[in-house]
Amino acid sequence: MRTKLWRAVAAFGLLAAGCGSGDSSAGQDDTSTPESVAQVVEVTTTQAGGERSSTTLGERGEPAGTVVYGWHTALTPAWLDPQESGNVITAYGFNYAIHDSMIKHFPGDQLAPSLAESYEIADDFMSASFTIREGAKFHNGEPVTADDVEFTYMNYHGTQAQLFHDRLDRIEKTDQRHITFYFKEPFVDFLILYGTPATGIGWIVPKAYYEQVGPDGYKQAPVGAGPYRLVRNTSNTELELEAMPDYWRGSPKVKTIIYKIITDDATRFAALQTGEIDFMNVVQGQLLQAAENDDRIRLTQRSTTAFWLEFPGWENPDSPFHDVRVRQAVSLALNRREISDAETGGFAKIDTGNWGAPDLIGALQPDEIKPEWYEYNLEKAKQLMADAGYPDGFEVPQLTPLAPYYALGERVITQLAQIGIKTSLNRIERAAFVEALTKGPDALPGMILNISGLNGDMAARWRAFATCEGPSSRTCIPELDAKFAQYEASTDPEERDALMAEIQTEFNDQYVFPYVYTLGLTMATGPRIANNPDDIWFSIPQFPYVFPWEDVELKP
Amino acid sequence: MIAFVLRRVGASVVTLLLLSVTIFLLVRATGDPARVYAGAEASEEEVAAVRADFGLDKPLLSQYATFVTDTVRGDLGHSIQFRQPVFEVYMDRLPRSLVLATVAFGLSLLIGIPAGVLSAVRPGRLSAGVFRAVALTGVSVPNFVIATTLILVFAVKLRWLPTSGSGSIKQLVMPSIALGWYFAAAMMRLTQSSMLEVMRGEYVKLARLKGVPEWIVIGKHALKNALIPVLTLAGVNFVVMVNVAVVIEQIFAWPGIGDLVYQGITLRDFPLIQGVVLMAGFMVVAVNLIVDVVYAVLDPRIRLDR
């Protein structure tokens, strides 16, 4: 059944309207993670008009002990400042501990009020009102106020900032706990963009402190309103976080969290084996077998988001990728089964076919996926190359994968060599990759092996990566842009639904972003952690890291 | 002696100027620094403002003059990714790299010099063979293999040492072995060839004819002179260990300059790369200057050979 994007958003709106009275917040009664919009709709519709779950976690005692988290990418300080959020979920691996958002997902409770005590989206989508949680504080002891929320919105210059600024008509504050955003036109996507890490605009920073230290100073010593505060940053290679016992949701159970940046996979895994780290991001390749053989290590696997290939500058008639037959040949040359076996022990899905995974709100569902989008047929690929005038293939300057998926990049390169496309791997760190994506088609020439864990919905992802003016887009198809403009302007659920499906189908038929495979992520938990790993990894949609931090617990 | 030192200082200044010109031009050849500084979401106006702020709208010669005066004042620019002055970022990492390099350097000398001496004076002995084998293993086996093997044996299997990180002596052991071992072989080969040459010297033969004990001939007369070229290599090796221990620092998550270089390159942080290259170049020039002066003190023929 097709994903009902608009219904989901509308349901959130209803939900918000319904919880306008009384204290509402994240609940723990339902820890299941909806994996489709249908489920999200079901959850939220059930709750709409009724009471939300319990307010806080209650008395929890003094936080104690230290947990060490082995992080897999280099850290850039910009990731500690939600005001500069890029199109990357990685930063939220830190933000969910240090910062807090007006609205956010909790396990089993989508788009729940967090720093907001309640919120309401107008029926006509022309305004959004928030009541700030009483007693919510930043790490420096200052209360979270309407001034901070306004400043955060107005000063935000991260991804999709222009959209928010263009749509805003005015902000009204009745007092320091009540704020309303008024829009120039119906802003149907506001909630999904404001309330998920699709953007960082809902992640509140303290106005006075931010202005005092400036953007660069803030990145060195961020002050947030999350369950942990940053107390030490050793050369951006190790972060020490200390629990905030008066966090609104309840005191964290662990006193200290250390994020240890260990980019070498084997070293990170060795550190897990020796007990130096308790959580490990990304167990991949040959380490998977070793991890499975170690009974002290608990693995959590989840099929998440999809990898896709991009051909920057493909619109140029001089580009060999201008010919749709070449792009289709690339797709046909990918032996996805072989890739999945090598990279994830066969765990990763190879047939979701679309660059937006089906659990992303608004993405095509399995019954809408055409088998040819993920078909492997080397002979047909070679024939298409010959038909396009490239029987011997051609050279491409480079293929750049998102870090740390270099091994996957090498496999793709090897497979494309079979149809004569010769290229080499360009190895850059994640932050540089994300930044380069924003600089147009020339920043990363050749091919890009991309993936996004960007939260929100398919429209958010489309807006960011595939529209002519998208902040991370290197592609432009005016006809599809026109359809997307129609989508944005529409408040008719059926029309929006149909348009989003049409856009994706037409895009995939042109093989602009050929699907590679669906990432099967494996995360590991060490023996000292008391929680069931499934409760803290992938606990909310499209977020692969540990959350909620305040629930993490050490064994006695 | 003063004239010699002044000549050497002059040559060093010229070398540094050439280095600065090369770096200055290379950075500009890779794209518009203003656009890089301005960031992802910057408009043309913002880029133009950054260009004006950084003086990038001025003639190239004027930009270079500013670049040199800023560098002399210790202003190496602002890191795009770290959002801090490059000099601060560099100095934050430097102490850890100095510690690692010093221990690794000591280790390379401890292995390399005895191995070189023994190989030269007692080529057939078992001890010479063992030393030589140890030293050559360091250069023959890629250092990432050595590093990973050390982790597997001493951290994962024996649990004697931590896998990674910095801050304790235990954390220093494996990275310094992996780093120093590699350089030991080069030290050995140079010591060996230098010793062989020196041992053929007339003064060595004379000492032997006079009945001076062999260990004094080797230790006092030969080794002292044989170490002169070794000193040059040692100086350069030390600078390399401080600034370019990229693989070792990556594997052991050691937050030093090598790790910073890797981040600078993979994060496309041009000001950072520029700063690190400049600092490394300055160190090489400074170390060579010191070595030249020490040479001249040890061997008066060097300062007279002009």
Q: What is the pLDDT of residues A266-325, one digit of tens each?
A: 999 999 999 999 999 999 878 988 999 999 999 999 888 899 999 999 999 999 999 999
- pLDDT tens, position by position, B87-100: 999 999 999 999 99
* More confidently predicted of A59 and B22: B22
Look-up of token digits 């089906």: A358
* More confidently predicted of B57 and A170: A170
What mean pLDDT value characterizes chain A? 87
C-alpha span between A473 and A461 (Å, rounded): 10
Is the Cβ–Cβ distance between B194 and B201 less than 8 Å? no
Q: Residue B11 above 50 pLDDT?
A: yes
Q: Residue B299 above 60 pLDDT?
A: yes
Terminal C-alpha separation, chain A? 46
Q: Residue A469 above 90 pLDDT?
A: no
CB–CB of B83 and A235 under 8 A?
A: no
Nearest to A472 by CA among A308, A261, A236: A308
Of B35, B152, B263, the CB nearest to A74: B263
Q: For residue A71, what pLDDT is reported?
A: 97
Name every chain B residue with its beta carbon within 8 A of the beta carbon of A216: 83-84
C-alpha span between A505 and A227 (Å, rounded): 42
Confidence band of A44 (pLDDT split at 50, 70, 90): very low
Lowest-confidence region among A336-340, A422-426, B28-32? B28-32
Name every chain B residue with its beta carbon within 8 A of the beta carbon of A86: 40
* More confidently predicted of B148 and B233: B148
Helical pair A5-18 and A493-509, crossing angle rounded to 10 deg: 140
Q: Residue A35 above 80 pLDDT?
A: no
Is the Cβ–Cβ distance between A456 and A198 less than 8 Å? yes
Convert A521-534 to b/e letters by CB count within 10 Å (16 or more is b).
bbbbbbebbebebe
B270 has a chain A CB within 8 A of its CB:
no
Q: For residue A552, what pLDDT is reported?
A: 96
C-alpha span between B78 and A328 (Å, rounded): 44
CB–CB of B81 and A215 under 8 A?
A: no
C-alpha span between B233 and A199 (Å, rounded): 53
Question: Could you tell me the two tokens for A356?
Answer: 């937006």
Q: In sequence order, what DSSP letters do the residues of A347-405 get, joined into one string?
A: -S-S---SSS-TTSBTSPPGGG--GGGS---HHHHHHHHHHTT-TT-EE-S-EEEPTTT
Q: Residue B230 above 90 pLDDT?
A: no
The partner residues of A522 in beta bridges, in order of sequence, read A301
Q: What does DSSP assign to residue A301?
A: E
C-alpha span between A550 and A97 (Å, rounded): 8
Confidence band of B30 (pLDDT split at 50, 70, 90): low
Terminal C-alpha separation, chain B? 11
Look-up of token digits 């929890």: A60
A299 has a chain B CB within 8 A of its CB:
no
Confidence band of B38 (pLDDT split at 50, 70, 90): low
Of B83, B253, B267, the CB nearest to A260: B253
Name every chain B residue with its beta carbon within 8 A of the beta carbon of A157: 41
Q: For residue A57, what pLDDT is reported?
A: 67
- Residue-level length of chain B: 306
Q: At A16, which helix (H) or strand (E)?
A: helix A5-18
Q: For residue A223, what pLDDT is reported?
A: 98
Name every chain B residue with its beta carbon within 8 A of the beta carbon of A267: 148, 151, 163-164, 251-253
Name every chain A residue with its beta carbon within 8 A of the beta carbon of B89: 235
Confidence band of A39 (pLDDT split at 50, 70, 90): very low
Lowest-confidence region among A49-53, A83-87, A151-155? A49-53
Q: Judging by DSSP bridges, how do beta strands A109-113 and A103-106 pair with one another?
A: antiparallel
C-alpha span between A465 and A198 (Å, rounded): 12
Q: For residue B154, what pLDDT is reported?
A: 97
Convert A172-182 to b/e letters by CB count within 10 Å (16 or more is b).
eeeeebebbbb
* More confidently predicted of A63 and A46: A63
- pLDDT tens, position by position, A511-523: 999 999 998 889 9
Look-up of token digits 């004569």: A420
- Region B38-64: what's the mean pLDDT? 73
Q: For residue A165, what pLDDT is reported?
A: 95
B249 has a chain A CB within 8 A of its CB:
no
Q: Residue A20 above 90 pLDDT?
A: no
Helix (H, G, I), strand (E, B) or coil at A69: strand
Nearest to A539 by CA among A260, A255, A279, A188: A279
- pLDDT tens, position by position, A245-262: 999 999 999 999 999 999
What mean pLDDT value characterizes chain B? 86
Helical pair B270-298 and B2-29, crossing angle rounded to 10 deg: 160
- Region B2-19: what's the mean pLDDT? 89
A464/chain B closest Cα distance in angstroms = 13
- Residue-level length of chain A: 556
B210 has a chain A CB within 8 A of its CB:
no
Confidence band of A55 (pLDDT split at 50, 70, 90): low
B91 has a chain A CB within 8 A of its CB:
no
Please classify residue A90 by burial: count the beta carbons closer than 10 Å to its beta carbon, then call 0-12 exposed, 13-18 middle and 19+ buried: buried
- pLDDT tens, position by position, A355-368: 988 888 899 999 99
Q: For residue A219, what pLDDT is reported?
A: 94
Given 3-state DSSP classes, what are the helix, strand and coil percentages for chain B, each rounded to the nearest 5? 80, 0, 20
Q: For residue A304, what pLDDT is reported?
A: 81
Name every chain B residue with its beta carbon within 8 A of the beta carbon of A429: 263, 266-267
Q: Judging by DSSP bridges, how do beta strands A256-261 and A66-71 pair with one another?
A: parallel
* More confidently predicted of A40 and A112: A112
Is the Cβ–Cβ distance between A508 and A374 less than 8 Å? no
Of B40, B156, B255, the CB nearest to A237: B255
Lowest-confidence region among A419-433, A434-448, A488-502, B96-110? A434-448
CB–CB of A161 and B41 under 8 A?
A: yes
B274/chain A closest Cα distance in angstroms = 17
C-alpha span between A17 and A111 (Å, rounded): 13
Q: What residue type is assigned to position A137 of the chain?
A: K
CB–CB of B267 and A219 under 8 A?
A: no
- pLDDT tens, position by position, A185-210: 999 999 999 999 889 999 999 999 99
Name every chain A residue with its beta carbon within 8 A of the beta carbon of B252: 267
Is the Cβ–Cβ distance between B120 and B191 less than 8 Å? yes
Q: Judging by DSSP bridges, how do beta strands A127-132 and A178-183 pair with one another?
A: antiparallel
* More confidently predicted of B283 and A23: B283
B50/chain A closest Cα distance in angstroms = 15
Range among A356-365, A491-500, B165-174 with highest mean pLDDT value: B165-174
Nearest to A131 by CA among A64, A75, A178, A187: A178
CB–CB of B251 and A264 under 8 A?
A: yes
- Phi, psi for B173 (deg, rounded to 5): -60, -60
Q: For residue A300, what pLDDT is reported?
A: 95
Is the Cβ–Cβ distance between B164 and A279 less than 8 Å? no
Lowest-confidence region among A49-58, A84-93, A161-170, A374-383? A49-58
State the best of B50, B81, B247 to mutate against chain A, taking most chain A CBs within 10 Å.
B81
- Region A89-95: what's the mean pLDDT? 92
C-alpha span between A541 and A539 (Å, rounded): 7
Share of chain B above pLDDT 70, in %: 93
Q: For residue A186, what pLDDT is reported?
A: 94
B153 has a chain A CB within 8 A of its CB:
no
Q: For residue B37, what pLDDT is reported?
A: 61
Q: Residue A157 above 50 pLDDT?
A: yes
Q: pTM of the prediction?
A: 0.83
State the best of B47, B80, B83, B272 to mutate against chain A, taking most chain A CBs within 10 Å.
B83
Q: For residue B305, what pLDDT is reported?
A: 58
Q: For residue A479, what pLDDT is reported?
A: 96
Q: For residue A270, what pLDDT is reported?
A: 97
C-alpha span between A357 and B236 (Å, rounded): 53
Q: Residue B193 above 60 pLDDT?
A: yes
Q: For residue B123, what pLDDT is reported?
A: 77
Question: Could you tell me the two tokens for A11?
Answer: 């349901």
Question: Could you tell me the two tokens for B12?
Answer: 């060093």
Lowest-confidence region among A48-62, A398-412, A447-461, A518-532? A48-62
Neighbours of A1 (CB within 10 A): 10
Please classify residue A367 by burial: count the beta carbons closer than 10 Å to its beta carbon, then call 0-12 exposed, 13-18 middle and 19+ buried: exposed
Q: For residue A30, what pLDDT is reported?
A: 36
Is the Cβ–Cβ distance between B16 and B8 less than 8 Å? no
C-alpha span between A102 and A113 (Å, rounded): 6
Confidence band of B254 (pLDDT split at 50, 70, 90): very high
Closest residue, chain B, to A79 (C-alpha): B81
- Region A29-56: what's the mean pLDDT? 39
Q: At A120, which helix (H) or strand (E)?
A: strand A116-121
Confidence band of B32 (pLDDT split at 50, 70, 90): low
Is the Cβ–Cβ distance between A271 and A70 less than 8 Å? yes
